[in-house]
Amino acid sequence: MSTMKAIRFPKFAPDESTLEIAEVPVQAPAAGEVTVKINYAALNPVDNKVLGGHLEGAGWAHPIPFYPGYDFSGTIETVGEGVSGFAKGEKVFAVNWGEGKHDDSSKTIGSAFAEFITLPAKKVSKIPEGLNMKTAAAVPLAGTTAWQALDKGEVKEGSKVLILGAAGAVGMIAVQLAKLRGAKVFTTCSSRTLEFVSSLKAADTIINYTETDWSAEGGEKDFDAVIDTIGEADVFTKAKKVLKSDGAFVTIASFDAGFDPKAHAPLRFASFMCLSNDTKVQDDLAALIVAGKLQVPLNKEMDFSMENVKALYQVQRDGKSVGKNLLVVASE
């Protein structure tokens, strides 16, 4: 395993044209790190944003060539000095992410679209009995984002919450988690995805946005929180029409409210947010899946080849997936 195949791009591009497969050295784990042999990796909308260079000006590190991919599942290959609790062959999953952005002090940024990945052991969770490796790869980034967005919105038992976009990866998990917290859940979707969103059996009310404006006069009001996973035009202005005066607006897809959560008093929170790696959240998500309380549907699975990687990027960019898209790097 001295070398491996990995996806990278030598320059930013609006599409998958600059993606390439390279034969590169497998990075030996430093103290506190593990090397994982990857079985599955999941695509996310952020992968196309990074490829397009859209986050280069946001203070995120983008070393070129860039090795993309954040979500993965696999087995421990090598354990670095000082790491306890992991052994060769154990099944694990993770999102390789920092605090509110994709990089931190560790050497490896992204790099999950590859045969191996070396990263800090503190980012990695064990796959419990009853959780398959495909779902384990699909859940961490979207699930952690959904969980933390609900936390920022203080969604709890008795809350009235509107989640914009239940057909997307974060939205489909957020509606389920909000319901599990005991909230009264409203959500939006299109005619095309209505059946899928209904099948989640999580929302109390589903608003078909192709037929009804969720912010219109005479519609539902007095929400404790609006969680935006879509980023539609004027979403913050529209959200303020339906929120309680001290409500929360949490968005993962719009910069309308800015980045200071306290800048729009009396709203208790109004800001863009981005996830932070949290293995406890990863573990809790896994436990909910094993208990049959959380669904993470899959959309497409494709083997690890240049043609298939480009195809999955296009599928993700088209924005019509219902469920997660997986890259099958190695058979189990």
| CA within 13 Å, CB half, 144 | 29
The 10 Å Cβ neighbour count of residue 320 is 12
- State the DSSP string of 263-321: TTTTSSEEEE---B--HHHHHHHHHHHHTT-----EEEEEESSHHHHHHHHHHHHHT--
* Residue written as token pair 């998990």: 173
Say what the pLDDT of residue 1 is: 65
Cα 40 to Cα 132: distance, rounded to the nearest angstrom: 11
Say what the pLDDT of residue 168 is: 95
pLDDT, tens digit (0-9, with 9 covering 90-100), for 231-268:
999 999 999 999 999 999 999 999 999 999 999 999 99
Say what the pLDDT of residue 319 is: 87
CATH number of 3-139+296-328: 3.90.180.10
Cα 17 to Cα 254: distance, rounded to the nearest angstrom: 26
8 Å CB contact between 257 and 271: yes
Q: Where are the alpha helices (DSSP H) in the chain?
A: 45-51, 133-138, 140-152, 169-180, 194-199, 235-242, 279-290, 306-318
> pTM for the whole thing?
0.97
For 205, the token pair is: 């009310």
* Residue 292 vs residues 146, 288, 295, 302: alpha-carbon distances, Å: 18, 6, 7, 26
SS3 content of the chain, % helix, strand, coil (to 5): 25, 30, 45
Q: Give span(s): CATH 3.40.50.720, the chain.
A: 142-272
Cα 130 to Cα 25: distance, rounded to the nearest angstrom: 34
CATH number of 142-272: 3.40.50.720
Say what the pLDDT of residue 56 is: 82
Which residues of the chain register pLDDT less than 70? 1
Say what the pLDDT of residue 12 is: 96
**CA neighbor of 155 nearest in space, from 194, 202, 213, 123:** 202
CA-based diameter of the chain, in Å? 64
Q: Give span(s): CATH 3.90.180.10, the chain.
A: 3-139+296-328
